[in-house]
Structure 1
C-alpha cells in the first residue's frame, strides 16, 4: 500500500514539474535563426524547426511577417501537455512547408500513426494549392482564430481525424469548401466560425465508405453558432452531410447560399445521414437556390436517412418552385418536424412534386409551425451590406418554439427568454 502511495506521489510531482517547466519559444521568419535559442531575444526562423523541437505543454509564438508552412508530426499530450502553435497578429503563411506532402500550408500528419494534442491559432493562411490547414490521421487537434482564404481547394480539411475542434475561424473565397471533414472522423466540433464566398459548401462532411480504415459514417458531430453565407455557386449545400449521423446542428445562421441549406443524405457515406437534430437555425436562401432542408433518397444501395428531427428553425426560400423541406417519401421512420417557421411548399417524393403546408400537416408534420416572410420576422433582412436576422419586436417567431437541448442562442444569450423557446438562431431580448 505504501509503495502504491509513493508511486502516485512521485507521478503527481513529475506531472506538476512538467507543467511548471512548459516553455514558450519564438519564431521570426524574417530575422530569426534556427541555430538560436528560440527565446524572445534569439528567435528561431522556421516553423518546421520549431514544431520539431518543442516538448509537451510548450507554446510557439510566431511574430508578424510572411512564413512558409510546416508539417506537424510529433504529438503533444492531453490537457496541459497540449502543444500550441500561435501567431501574433500579422502572420501570413502563403506557401506550404518544405516537408509537406499535400500542397497545404500547415499539415498535421505522421503518415503511419496518429498525431494528437495540438492547438493551431491566429494565422492567416492563403495561397495554398490545396488547403490552408490539412489534418490527416489526427486526434484532439484544435484550429481556431485563423483567417483561411483564397486557397485552391478547401480552407480547413480533415481526414480520419477524431475530436477535431474548428472554432472561431473565418474561411472564405476558397476554391471548394470552407471546411471539409472527411473519412469517418468522429466527434468534430465546428463552432463560432464565419464561412462565406466559398465556391462549394460552407461546411462539407463526408463519411467516405470507399476509404479504409473507417466505417464510412461521421458520428457525434456538433455544428453550432456558425454564420454561413454566399457559398455554393458551384453547387453543394451551406451545410452538406454525406453519411453523417447522431449529430447536432444548432444556432447556425445561413443566408444567401446558392444551392441547398442543410442536406442530409448519402452518396459516398455508408448510410443515409440519420438521427440528427436540426434545432434553432435561421436559414434564408438566395433566389434561385434549392431546398432549405434537403433529405433525399440515398444512392448506390445505401440505407436511406431515418430519424432526423427538425425543430425551432426558420426555413425560408423566395423561390416559388422550391420549399422548406424535401423528404424522399411521405413516411420515414423516426422523422419529426415541428415548431418551425416555413414557406407553404414541401415535397414528399424527392422534389418531383410540391404539396402545401396543410397536406404536409396531414402526414403529422409541422402541426405547430407557421408561415411567415422575412419582413414579419427580422430586424433588417434586406440590408445589402450586413442584413440583420435578429428577431424584431413583435416577430412571429418569438415564444413559438418548443423545448429542445439548445440552452443559448448564436450569441450566447440564454434560452428561453420568455415562457417558450423562440424560433431561429437568435433569442429575442426585449432590451436589444
Structure 2
C-alpha cells in the first residue's frame, strides 16, 4: 500500500507521462491480485480496476487514457461489472482494451462477468411450499432483487443459462420459444368482452389490430378518417357523464369527433392536435345508454391518409370510473391439457402465445375454469391464428427437470422469490448458481478509434436490452476482435449503433437464451463482420439495419432455432453490401433481406435443414440491383410449396440477377420485375414457379443430390466428380470459391459455392 505522499508522487508521475509527446502507456488490470494504489504499468503492479473506472480509487482513478494506450486485463480472472469507455484514440493510435491476447498476463481470456452468486437457499419443507409440486424435496428457494419483468432474471450455473419453468418442456432447454413443440388446439383463442364492439356501416379496420383494442389501450385502425364510426354495445345500460378518445400519436390526425348514445348525437367536439393523452369531454347532461358510438368526422389539416389509429376510448360515470373498462380478456380452451380440478392451479403462470406477426407473446393468467377447461389470460391484442399454439411458463408447479426455475411475486415489491431444482446441490443448497446483475459487459459511448480484443464476456441481463459488448456513437473506427460472448438473456451479444467503420472479427457468440440476437450492426457506414461464429443463439445470428457499405464474410451461423432466428438479416435500407463465403445451417431462414440496394450475394452455403425456405427476399419494400451468384441453397422445406430455396415474391425488385447457383426450388418469380435474370442455375427442386420446366438460359433440373454433391446426407456440399454442376456456369465476377480456390479450373465456372478442384 502507498502512503499519501507516495500516492501523490505516483499521480504526478502519471500526469507527467501524459505531457508533451510521451510514449503510449500500457496498463495492467488484475481484479483478484491488483490494487488501485499500484502504478498499474506492469503485471507485477497491476491495478484492481480499469483505469478511470467509476469504482476505481487512487492512481487508477486518476488515469485518463490517451491515443495509443493499451489496457491489458489478466487472463483467467473475472472482472465483475461493466468496462465503460468514452475516450477516443486517433487514426493509427487506437485505445486498446485487451483480454490477454498475447497470453503473457495470466492464462486464457480475461472474463467480464455480469453475474453475482445467489445465496440463502432453503430446501422446500413440504409440497404445499412448492405449490403442490410432487418434486418438492428436490426444489430450493431464495429471495433476490426483483427484475422489471420476470423473464429478465437470468439464472446461470458455471456453464450455461438455466431454463425458466415451462410446460411442455422443450427438447432443447435454450430454445423455449420453439412453437413446433407447443401445445396445439385446433381452434382460435377467444377475446371476451361483456358486450359487443363493431364497426358501423362503411367503416373498417384491419385483422392485425382488432377493434377491441380501443378498450385496452392497444391501438386499432379505423377508416375512413372522415366518417369512420364504431360502436361499443354494453351488456346492460350504463349511466355516462363524460366521454373520452385518444387518437394514436404519430398517425394521421383527427380534427373532429362526434359521440352518439343509442343512435342520438350527444356531443360534437374538436380535438387538440398536440395532445397525446386521452381527451375527456363532459356531456351536456348525464345519459343512460347501452350503445355508445364514436364517429370520426374530419381529418386534421394537411392529412392525406384515409385511415388512422385510435389508441383508446372511454365513457365515465359520475365518480370518474370508466364504464367501458370491464373484464376484457382472452381465453384458451383445451380439453386435453387444461385438466386440473383446482381452479387456482394456474394462478401466477404466464401463457406464451404464438400470434401477431409470427411471434410469441406472454400473457398473464387471470383465472381458470375447470368445468370448461378454459384458461383466461390478459387480453391478446395481436392477430389470432386459427390454430392456437401456446406454452405455460414461470411457476414452481411446472418445475419437473433439473435446472428449471421460476420467479414469483412476494409481498415486497422490490423482492421476488426464486424456486430452483438444481442439477447439483450440497448441504448449503444449489452449487454454483449465479444471477445476472449487470446489463452490459463492455460498453463504448461516443468513442472512436478503439479496439476491444481477446475477452470472454458472459451472463449479462436483469434489465431491458442487455448486451455483451456494445459501441454507441456517434463514432468511427471501432474494432471488436477475438471475443467470446455467452449467456446473455433477452438482449444482444455484440451491438453497434451509429458507428462508422465497424469491424467485428473472429468473435464467437453462443448459447444466449431468451430471445437474444448474435451480432447487430445498425445505422452506420462500412460495417464488416468477418470470420465470426454464431451458435445456438435464440434470435437472428447477424443483423444489419440501415447500413451503407459493408461486408459479411467467412461467418458460420449454426443451430439458431429461436423465434425469428434467421441466419443473416439485412433490413431497413441496407445498401452497397457484399455477403460472401458464409455458411448457415441447422436453423431457420438462412438469409432474409428487404429494402436493399446494391447487394452481391456470392459463394455462400445455405442449408435450410428441410424445415423452412433457404433465402427470402421479402416483398414489403423496394429493392434494386441484387446479384446472387455462385451460391448453394439446399434442403428447403419440401412439405410446403412456397418454402423453397429462393423466395422472391415481390414486384418491387429492380435489377435482380441470379446466375450460377444451385437452388432447391424457386417460388415467386412471376411477381418479380420483368428485367430479372435467372440463368445458368441448377434446380434440385422445381418449386411452384418451375413446374413447367420453362428454364432460363443454361438452367436445368437435377433432383438427385447424390449426383451433384460429395455427401449431401452428411452436409458435404462440394461437387462430386462428374457432377452436372461442373463447367455448367457462365462468366460472372466471381474469381474464387467458398474455400478460396481459384475459379474457373475447367472450361467454365462451376455452379454453386464450390469449384471442383480436379476435373
Superposition TM-score, scaled by structure 1 size: 0.78
Aligned to 1:46: 49
How much does 1:188 deviate? 0.5
The answer on 1:284 being equivalent to 2:607 is yes
Any gaps of 5 or more consecutive residues in structure 2? 1-19, 54-59, 101-107, 117-436, 673-685
Alpha-carbon displacement from aligned partner over 1:331-383 (angstroms, at most 9, x marks no partner): 842111111111234223689x9524365855x5x744654555444444444
How much does 1:131 deviate? 1.3
Aligned to 2:518: 178
Aligned to 1:323: 644
Aligned to 2:486: 149
The answer on 1:274 being equivalent to 2:597 is yes
How much does 1:181 deviate? 1.3
Aligned to 1:219: 548
44-53 or 234-243: bigger deviation:
44-53
The answer on 1:293 being equivalent to 2:615 is yes
Aligned to 2:531: 192
Aligned to 1:234: 563
CA contact (8 A) 1:96 1:104 kept: no
Partners of 1:311 and 1:201 in 2: CA distance: 23
CA contact (8 A) 2:577 2:599 kept: yes
Structure 1 counterpart SS, 2:597: coil
The answer on 1:355 being equivalent to 2:688 is yes
Any gaps of 5 or more consecutive residues in structure 1? 1-16, 208-217, 266-271
CA contact (8 A) 1:309 1:335 kept: yes
Change (3 A) 1:345 1:419: same
Alpha-carbon displacement from aligned partner over 1:260-307 (angstroms, at most 9, x marks no partner): 121111xxxxxx112211111111112222x22211212xxxx41222
Pick the aligned partner of 2:504 from 162, 166, 178.
166
Change (3 A) 1:83 1:430: farther
Instruction: Say what the alpha-carbon RMSD is for the aligned residues.
Output: 3.1
Larger of the two Rg values belongs to structure: 2
Aligned to 1:117: 449
CA contact (8 A) 1:341 1:369 kept: no
Partners of 1:234 and 1:421 in 2: CA distance: 38
Partners of 2:24 and 2:693 in 1: CA distance: 60
22-31 or 275-284: bigger deviation:
22-31
Change (3 A) 1:35 1:412: farther
Pick the aligned partner of 1:70 from 61, 74, 83.
83
Superposition TM-score, scaled by structure 2 size: 0.46
Q: What pairs up with 1:403-418 in 2 under 5 angstroms?
A: 403-418=731-746
Tell me which of the two structures has the higher relative contact order, counting C-alpha pairs closer than 8 angstroms and 6 or more residues apart: 2
Structure 2 counterpart SS, 1:105: strand
Aligned to 2:583: 253
Aligned to 1:93: 112
68-77 or 229-238: bigger deviation:
229-238
Change (3 A) 1:75 1:312: same
Aligned to 1:339: 660
CA contact (8 A) 1:196 1:231 kept: yes
Alpha-carbon displacement from aligned partner over 1:204-248 (angstroms, at most 9, x marks no partner): 1222xxxxxxxxxx2112111111121142114211111212211
Structure 2 counterpart SS, 1:78: coil
Aligned to 1:214: none
